[in-house]
Amino acid sequence: MAQLSGDIELMPISDLVAWIANRNLTGQLTASRGNVERSFIVAKGLVRQGASTDTREYLGQHLINFGYINEQQLEKAFQTQRETTVPLGRILLMVGELTEEQLNRALAFKVRESLLDTFEWQTGSFSLEDGETGKREMDLVVAVALAEAHSEGLSRARLWREMRAIFPSGDLRCSVQSRPHACSAHDGRLLDLLAHGLTIGDLLLELRALDFHVYARLYDLHQRGHIRPLPAAPVAATAPAASEAATQETMRSALAQQDYGQAFTSAQRVLERDAHNAEALAAMRVSQQHVAADIKERGLDRGSVPTLLIDREQATSGQLTAKERYVLSRIDGERTLNQIIQVSPVSEVELLHIVEKLRAQGLVGLKKG
């Protein structure tokens, strides 16, 4: 079976996709960056299936983002899935929480957006293996055309440059200047979250949305004068850059000293500001392996219930990452770790690492479920 592989830095995924489309190829395209791997089943220039290890791209997260289901419905569906092994989407159809049209729309969106987001990767590796693969019963109802995706990707690249000029970092906050006269439910919620002081990184987690769609809505609202980016800090303009440099230096030092927990946290902070930082992505990949092994060795009981040990406002007032703030917001003293993990856009390893870190800081405790 023929195979092609290489570095994304040398051959961007968008160029590779154009090459596959022009040759009408059939096979499996896999791309890896940091701790994320995405794969796409292609048949004669059409993407039939897609999968990703990025928790935000799981079907359940998209269904919540679309407003089709809520966390409680997703949690119940997961419980049924554990008992029956029936695919999640099929379970939601059977219990009447979802229609065929909604499921098909979410699946097509999931695959298309995963592919388009991969075009943005500047580092990583890819492999292309030819030949038929994948279970045909899992095919999309309407396959994604690679040629069309490539064309859209070029348009998005131009828009990304404009958006990043206004919103260069995920840790930015925005002030709400006004609200559109005709405001969609999605924009209304986005504006409410901004008004409560959430960063862009916080928005991505709360909305269960991929980066492009949140930034695109922010860009549109900014262009119409409804929101305004706030300065990163009320100090000299050089401070944010110095802070980022200091975080990267902490990350390097932690790796050198084999303090993988600190390296993991520092890499997260760097990636909140710059999702394409190659050094942080590499540090995340290396440190996550050790963090996962440490969590396994500790045997953390996923059936235990996390509780806040101090006032919620005090718990979120420190220098926390967006993911740390998200995890704290889901701790209600009732849900188990496993229940929080199941419906979270944060990966299991990251979430458990955050809980352990918050325990060490005296912010969170665990009680038996």
In tens, the pLDDT along 162-184 reads 999 999 988 899 999 999 998 88
What confidence category does residue 1 fall into, taking pLDDT thresholds of 50, 70 and 90?
low
The pair phi, psi for residue 312, each rounded to 5°, is: -60, -40
Q: Is 315's pLDDT higher than 80?
A: no
Mean pLDDT of 130-143: 84
Contact 34, 285 (CB under 8 A): yes
At residue 140, the pLDDT reads: 92
Compute the chain's Rg from CA coordinates.
21
Cα distance between the two ends of the chain: 50
Mean pLDDT of 339-362: 92
CA angle 106/112/116 to nearest 5° reads: 140
Give the C-alpha separation, 14 to 149, whole Å: 9
Give CA separation, 279 vs 176, 313, 367, in Å: 34, 33, 38
At residue 169, the pLDDT reads: 87
At residue 233, the pLDDT reads: 54
Give the C-alpha separation, 258 to 271, whole Å: 20
Q: Is 335's pLDDT higher than 50?
A: yes
At residue 85, the pLDDT reads: 84
CB < 8 Å & 24+ apart, contacts of 241-247: 244/270, 244/273, 244/274
At residue 276, the pLDDT reads: 85
Mean pLDDT of 116-129: 95
Go through 118-129 and write b for each residue having 16 or more CB atoms within 10 A of its CB, e for each that does not.
bbbbeebbbebe
Contact 166, 38 (CB under 8 A): no
Q: What is the pLDDT of residues 192-205, one digit of tens each?
A: 999 999 999 999 99
What confidence category does residue 235 fall into, taking pLDDT thresholds of 50, 70 and 90?
very low
Mean pLDDT of 16-45: 94
CA of residue 232 relative to chain centroid, distance: 22
At residue 232, the pLDDT reads: 66
Give the C-alpha separation, 354 to 291, whole Å: 11
Mean pLDDT of 42-65: 93
| Rounded percentage of the chain residues whose pLDDT exceeds 70 | 96
> Which of 5-9, 247-251, 275-279 bottoms out in mean pLDDT, i.e. has the lowest?
275-279
Tokens 């994320």 identify what position?
36
Q: Is 344's pLDDT higher than 80?
A: yes
| Average pLDDT of every residue of the chain | 90
Looking at the DSSP assignment, which residues form a beta bridge with residue 30? 39, 127
Give the C-alpha separation, 40 to 30, whole Å: 6
| Rounded percentage of the chain residues whose pLDDT exceeds 90 | 72
Mean pLDDT of 235-250: 65
CA nearest to 171, candidates 236, 223, 239: 239
Q: What is the pLDDT of residues 246-258, one digit of tens each?
A: 889 999 999 999 9
Mean pLDDT of 72-77: 92
